[in-house]
Amino acid sequence: MQPTPGLLTRRAIATISSPVSQLTQRCWRALGAFGLRWSKMAAVFIIVVAYTTIVRGQQTPATNPVQQPAVNAAGEPVRKGPSFKLPDGVTQVRDLTYAQYGTREMKLDLYWPSSGSGPFPGIVFIHGGAWVLGTKAGFNNQAAYMAGKGYVCVSIDYRLAGEAIWPAALYDSKAAVRWMRAHAAEYKIDPNKIAAVGGSSGGQLVALLGTTADVKTMEGDGGNPQFSSRVQAVVAFNPLTDFVSMLARTQMPVRTGPPYAVPVITKFLGGTADQVPEIYMEASPVAHVSATSAPFLFLHGDSDTTMPIEQSTEMQHTLEAVGVRAELYIAKGGNHGFFNYEPYYQPSLERMEQFLDSVFGKQ
């Protein structure tokens, strides 16, 4: 006598591992109570078993978990850049205080040529991290490199959004420029030749340094008010230049901006675009472009899915329209943070050096 289909199915149930079989046996009896034919019951049963097994697998920790890579504020894997090495002939001085708010001291690291009479052009480096992450070490390789080429460089910490919202980060950035001028004689800095270099959110801050020197209400109270915060050149790596267009792209049906953009921007600016629209405009460097803006070099990867390349190209065109020098270096295949790893690291360094040497008349 051949076993019936129902008997075969019941035998199959009995072979299932006990944690799943208890649930599936109950499901089988419940389905039988509804008078379903065995074939229909089997189909439903298979689905229940598959789902239960998947859920159970998801709840069971892996015995050898894979180490997940470090990620940046955008949730992207962080690629390891070149190891830091102080070039010959460069002196590093760490943790100098450049501004103070009550007991809160803002620190910078200084890199300067050990020899030569100067005066040397100066550079303020401002790290990225979506205004919520990052430290002054973010640009230590580039700062040390440029110091070896005859520049006095500082790389700064600034107040992140978790500590203070807009415009605190800009106030700190301007205070750092004023600090450089206040200490020009001590460190052999040419006060008439100071550049600002930054990436991503730091690119937004340096772009503002290059466009808001005449906006007195945006200076802040970080010290040395008798000195100017104007910069004579800007190098912006994959910067955000327009909050309004950035959010418009993020909210398009075909998303061209990163999903993290809205929450971090809201945290940084202290509200949504509907709540504080005037702040979104005020914090956008493109809104401050004028004929007195500093010369700009934009460096952007054409595969950047975190900061659309249009953030650079559109501001470049706006600067050129009012007669300001604005150049664009496109890293073919480069994504966000391309300038920190090969094959883009050295070419981007050299392009920055070439631009700044040209602006400051260095031979």
Whether residue 298 lies inside any domain: the answer is yes
In the prediction, which pLDDT does 201 show?
96
Residues 44 and 214: their CA atoms lie apart, in Å, by 72
Question: Do 186 and 38 have their domain in common?
Answer: no
Distances (CA, A) of 2 to 7, 8, 43, 169: 10, 10, 22, 80
Say if residue 211's pLDDT is above 60. Answer: yes
DSSP 211: T
Domain CATH for 246: 3.40.50.1820
Distances (CA, A) of 13 to 8, 152, 341: 9, 76, 55
Question: Do 101 and 21 have their domain in common?
Answer: no
Question: Do 49 and 95 have their domain in common?
Answer: no
Residues 241 and 252: their CA atoms lie apart, in Å, by 18
Q: Which residues neighbour 63 within 8 Å (Cβ) at sequence distance 6 or greater?
A: none
Rounded (to 5) percent helix, strand, coil in the chain: 40, 20, 40
65: its two tokens:
């978990």
Contact yes or no for 178/224 (Cβ under 8 A): yes
Say if residue 240's pLDDT is above 90. Answer: yes
pLDDT in tens, 212-234: 999 999 999 999 999 999 999 99
pLDDT in tens, 64-80: 433 334 444 444 445 55
Question: Do 264 and 316 have their domain in common?
Answer: yes
Q: Which residues neighbour 9 within 8 Å (Cβ) at sequence distance 6 or greater?
A: 38, 41, 42, 45
Question: Do 34 and 166 have their domain in common?
Answer: no
Say if residue 345's pLDDT is above 60. Answer: yes
CA-atom Rg of the chain in angstroms: 29
Question: Do 96 and 41 have their domain in common?
Answer: no
Question: Do 227 and 276 have their domain in common?
Answer: yes
DSSP letters along 168-187, please? HHHHHHHHHHHHHHHTHHHH
Whether residue 76 lies inside any domain: the answer is no
In the prediction, which pLDDT does 299 show?
98
Question: Do 20 and 146 have their domain in common?
Answer: no
Question: Do 43 and 96 have their domain in common?
Answer: no
Whether residue 55 lies inside any domain: the answer is yes
Whether residue 177 lies inside any domain: the answer is yes
Say if residue 191's pLDDT is above 60. Answer: yes
Helix, coil or strand: residue 121: strand
What one-letter code names the amino acid at 260? Answer: Y
Question: Do 46 and 101 have their domain in common?
Answer: no
Of 103, 190, 173, the C-alpha closest to 136 is 173
Domain housing 167: 90-360
253: its two tokens:
């049906």
Domain final position from 42, 59, 76: 59
pLDDT in tens, 113-165: 988 889 999 999 999 999 999 999 999 999 999 999 999 999 999 999 999 99
Say if residue 51's pLDDT is above 90. Answer: no
Question: Do 241 and 347 have their domain in common?
Answer: yes
pLDDT in tens, 303-329: 998 899 999 999 999 999 999 999 999
Question: Do 36 and 107 have their domain in common?
Answer: no
Whether residue 71 lies inside any domain: the answer is no
**Helix or strand holding residue 53 (H, E):** helix 38-59
For all residues of the chain together, what is the average pLDDT?
A: 82
Say if residue 5's pLDDT is above 70. Answer: no
Total domains, the chain: 2
Contact yes or no for 116/148 (Cβ under 8 A): no
Whether residue 199 lies inside any domain: the answer is yes
Whether residue 332 lies inside any domain: the answer is yes
Residues 200, 247, 219, 134, CA torsion sign: negative
Q: Environment class of residue 313 by beta-carbon count within 10 Å: exposed (0-12), middle (13-18) or buried (19+)?
A: middle
Whether residue 152 lies inside any domain: the answer is yes
pLDDT in tens, 275-303: 999 999 999 999 999 999 999 999 999 99
